[in-house]
Structure 1
Amino acid sequence: MTANITDLSAVRRPVAEAQGLPNAHYIDPGVFNEEKHAVLFSSWAGLGVTADVTEPGDAKPMTFLGMPLLMVRDKGGAVRVFQNICRHRGMILVEEARKIEGAIRCPYHSWCYGTDGRLVSTPHVGGPGQNTHESIDRNLLGLIEVRSHIWRDVVWINVDGNALPFEEENADLIARWAEFDKPLYHGGADSAFQLEVKCNWKLAVENYCESYHLPWVHPGLNSYSRLEDHYHIEKPDAFSGQGTLVYRQLKGTQGEVFEDFEGLSEKWNEAAEYITVYPNVLLGVHRDHAFAIILVPESEARTVEHIHLYYATPQTDDAMRAANTKQWKLVFEEDIFVVEGMQKGRHAPHFDGGRFSAVMDSPTHCFHAWVAGKIETHRSTAQAAQ
C-alpha cells in the first residue's frame, strides 16, 4: 500500500506558526500504514498490562496493528511477548486467553514450545516415530520474541527493535514521577474497561494532552478543577500533557478515602498529572490511585481504548472502587463525541490541519511535531536505502 507523501514542513514550525498534521494522517489507509512503521513500530508502544497475565503460565493472545502476538507470564514469573505463530508453518498457536499447563502446543502439527519460547518438541518431524531431524535445529526455531519492557504495569513493545533502551528513552518521565515508583495494585475486573471510538488514535492523544476543552466538554470536572488550575507538561520528542493543582479525592459514604501511595511530597496533596507517553499510552497519577490507557489502533478511523485503574494497596473498598471506575468512565466517555467529530472533520478537503493556540495548545503541538519528526526520519532512511 503506497502512502500519500504528505507535506509536513508546517507541522514542526514553532507553535504560534504551525499547522496540524494534514488530513491524510487521519483518513488515508496508506498513511496509516506508513505511520505504523515510522511511528508505532519504531517506538516503545503500549501493548497491554501485566495484570492480564497474573500467574505463571497465563497466556493472552493479542493483535497489534495486524500483528498476532502472545503475552505470556513464563514459569519463572517474567512477562514476555512473542509472535503468536508456530515456526513450522505459521499457524496461530493460542486463540483465547488461558493458562498453559504444560507447553504451548501448535494445533496443526503439535510442535510444542515452553513458556520461555524454546522449541521443545517436534513430533514425527523426521518421519513416523522420528521426533528429530538434522535439518530442524530446535535451538534456532524458538518463538519469535518481541522486545518488551514493563513500567507502571504497562507492557511496552518495540517491534523493530531499534529504539533506545526504555529507561534511556523515557529517563525524564521516570525521574519526574520517581515518587510514584512504588507497587501498583490493579483494582481487578471492575477496574478495567474498554471504549471503542470511531477515530484515528492520534486524536485521542491530542485531546488528552490539553486542558483547553475542560469548561465545555467536562463541566463537572471543571466545576472544581478549573481551567486556570491547570499547567502544561512538555518534553519534546518524548511526552506531553497537563497537570492540575486541584485534585479532589473520592470519598465513601462515611468520608473514607483510598490510601495514599507512601512517601509522596506535599505537592501531591492536591496535585495530579496526566501525561501521554508517545506514542500511545495515556497515564494519570494521583495521591491515591493511578490509571493507564493503552490506545490500540484498529484502522485509520477506529481505536480501542483499554483503561486500567490502580491503587496503592492490594485491598480496596468494593463500592468505592466501583464508584471511581464509574466516575472515570463518565469523564472518558465525555470525550468521545469530540474525537469522533474531529475524525469526521478530517474529510473536509480544504482543512489544512488547523492552527494551535500558542498559549493553550502547546502540549498537543508537541505531539504533532514528534509524529512529523518520526515520519520524516523514516522517509529519509527509506530514501537512503534505495
Structure 2
Amino acid sequence: MLNRLPSSISALLDSRTEGHSLPAGLYTRDDVFAADLDVFFHRHWIQVGLECDVPEPGDAVTLEIGSASLILLRDDDGEIRVIRNSCRHRGARLLDEGRSIVSKLVCPYHQWTYELSGELIHAPHMGMDFDKSCRSLKPVHFKSIGGLIYVCLSDDPPADVAMLEAVMEARLAPYDIRQAKVAFQFDVVEKGNWKLTIENNRECYHCSANHPELCVSFIDLDFGFDPASLSPEDREEAERHQALYDARTREWEADGYPSAAIEQLAGNTTNFRTQRLIIAGAGESQTPDATAASARLLGTMTRKDAGDTHLWGHNSWNHFMGDHAVVITIVPLAADRTLVRTKWLVHQDAVEGVDYDLDKLTSVWLATTDQDSALVERSHAGIADPAYEPGPYSTFTEGQLDNFVTWYIERLRAHGY
C-alpha cells in the first residue's frame, strides 16, 4: 500500500508533531518554497544590508529576493533609500545585480531617467502632456536599525518591528555601524533549504564536533546541556559559569552596555533574539586566538572585553564585538538552494595591514561558514530521502529550533495556509 503524503501545505502543517522537526515536504516542496518567499521574505521584515554598503552619494547595491529586485542607495542628500529595481515604463531592470556608482538611474531599454530619489525626470517621446509625477520609482518600506537595513515588501509591514528597533538602536550605538566599513564579503550558496540554514544556526549541539575554530571563542555551556549527564565537577562548573554570566551582565550594563537576553519569538510577528555573550579564552573577539583582530575599535568602544552582542532574525545572524562585527544574511534561491552572505565590518578609518590583518579577521567565520554549508547540504539530502521521518528536538540544546518552527507554522497559518 502506498504511503499517502499530505497534498496541501495546510495538511503538512497539521501533520507536524510538537517538539519534532518539520515534515519533509516543508523543506523540499516547490509550492512550500513559493509560500515561504511570499510570507517570510515579502510580508515580514528581513535584514538585507547595511548603511555602510553605500557610504557615498551615488553608491548603490542591487539585491535580489525571489523575483523581486531592490536598489539600496544613498541619494544626493546623503539619505538612504530603498526602491524597486523596475522601470515605470515597461518594467525593465534599471541596474544589474551587485554594486554600482550612479549619478542618475537610467533605464538601459528606453532611457527613462530618474533622480536618486526615484523621481522621473526624463521620458523621451512620451508627449508634452505626459505626467511624469505619477511615474516615480516605487519605494520600499525600510528601516535602518543601528545601521542594519531591514525591508518589508508588503504594503502593510508588521508594526512589532518597533521592539527590535527600540532594543537594537541602544545596543548598537557604541559600535556605530553606520560609520563602519565592509572589510570583506563572502558569499556561498548552500545546497539546502533556508529553514535548515536557520535551524543549524540556532543550535550549538553540533559545534564541538564540527567547529574547532569557532569553539576557541564560543562557550558550549551557553547553548544548553543535559544536567543529568554532567558529572558533579561539570555541574559545579556550569553553576560557576552561570554565576559569572550574571555578574558580567550586571557589570556590562552598569558600564552602559545593554546585555540581558531579549526575545520576541513564537507568538509574535517579527522574530528576533539578542544577548551579550561572554567570549571564551582571551575574551576579546571571534578570531583564531580570541584576541582582537583590529587595533582600531568600532565606534566609541573603548574596551576589547565587552563580549559578543549577538542578534538573530529569521533571515540573519550578527555578532558585534569591540573590534569588529560579523553580519550574515540569507536569501532563499530555491527549495534546495540558499544564499548565505557574510560581511566583516571594521572602523571606517581602520587600515588593512596596519590596524588589522584580514586573515585573522575573517578566518574563523570563513571556516565556520564552509563547515555549516556542508552540514546543511548533508541535512537536506537526508530529509529528501524517503526514509526520513521527523525526529525529536533535544529540549536541552535545541529548544530554539522548536521555537523557530513553531513560529514558522504560526506565521503560515496567519497568512491563510
CA contact (8 A) 2:180 2:348 kept: no
Moved more, 231-240 or 294-303: 231-240
CA contact (8 A) 1:4 1:31 kept: yes
The aligned runs of 1:188-207 (5 Å cut-off) are 188=182, 190-207=183-200
Distance 1:125 1:59 in 2: 28
Does residue 55 of structure 2 align to residue 51 of structure 1?
Answer: no
Q: Which residue of 2 is the match for residue 384 of structure 1?
A: none
2:400 partner amino acid: P
Partner of 2:10: helix, strand, or coil? coil
CA contact (8 A) 1:229 1:246 kept: no
CA contact (8 A) 1:201 1:296 kept: yes
Distance 1:160 1:24 in 2: 26
2:193 partner amino acid: N
Distance 1:284 1:87 in 2: 39
Q: Which residue of 2 is the match for residue 314 of structure 1?
A: 349
CA contact (8 A) 1:205 1:276 kept: no
Q: Which residue of 2 is the match for residue 138 of structure 1?
A: 132
Aligned match for 1:161, one of 155, 158, 161:
155
The aligned runs of 1:7-22 (5 Å cut-off) are 7-9=12-14, 17-22=18-23
Does residue 409 of structure 2 align to residue 372 of structure 1?
Answer: yes
Unpaired segments ≥5 residues, structure 1: 127-131, 381-386
Change (3 A) 1:26 1:139: same
Distance 1:175 1:364 in 2: 26
The aligned runs of 1:265-284 (5 Å cut-off) are 269=305, 271-277=307-313, 279-284=314-319
Q: Which residue of 2 is the match for residue 342 of structure 1?
A: 379
Q: Which residue of 1 is the match for residue 258 of structure 2?
A: none
Offset from partner CA, 1:17-37 (integer Å, 9 cap, x none): 422222112211110101111
CA contact (8 A) 2:272 2:311 kept: yes
1:239 partner amino acid: F
Change (3 A) 1:56 1:261: closer
Aligned match for 1:219, one of 205, 212, 215:
212
Unpaired segments ≥5 residues, structure 2: 1-6, 225-260
Change (3 A) 1:375 1:184: same
Moved more, 18-27 or 257-266: 257-266
**Moved segments of 4+, more than 6 Å:** 262-266
Question: How big is the shift at 1:234?
Answer: 4.4
Aligned match for 2:390, one of 353, 367, 380:
353
The aligned runs of 1:164-313 (5 Å cut-off) are 164-165=158-159, 167-171=161-165, 173-174=167-168, 177=171, 180=174, 182-188=176-182, 190-223=183-216, 225-230=218-223, 234-236=263-265, 237=268, 238-240=271-273, 244-247=277-280, 248-249=283-284, 250=287, 258-261=295-298, 269=305, 271-277=307-313, 279-312=314-347
2:317 partner amino acid: L
TM-score by length of 1: 0.83
Distance 2:113 2:173 in 1: 43
Question: How big is the shift at 1:185?
Answer: 4.8
Moved more, 146-155 or 173-182: 173-182
Change (3 A) 1:214 1:176: farther
Partner of 2:37: helix, strand, or coil? helix
Question: How big is the shift at 1:209?
Answer: 1.2
1:333 partner amino acid: D
TM-score by length of 2: 0.77
CA contact (8 A) 1:47 1:64 kept: no
Distance 1:216 1:122 in 2: 60
Percent identical residues: 23
Question: How big is the shift at 1:47?
Answer: 2.2
Q: Which residue of 1 is the match for residue 365 of structure 2?
A: 328
Distance 2:410 2:52 in 1: 33
Change (3 A) 1:293 1:155: same
Question: How big is the shift at 1:373?
Answer: 0.8
Partner of 2:118: helix, strand, or coil? coil
CA contact (8 A) 2:12 2:26 kept: no
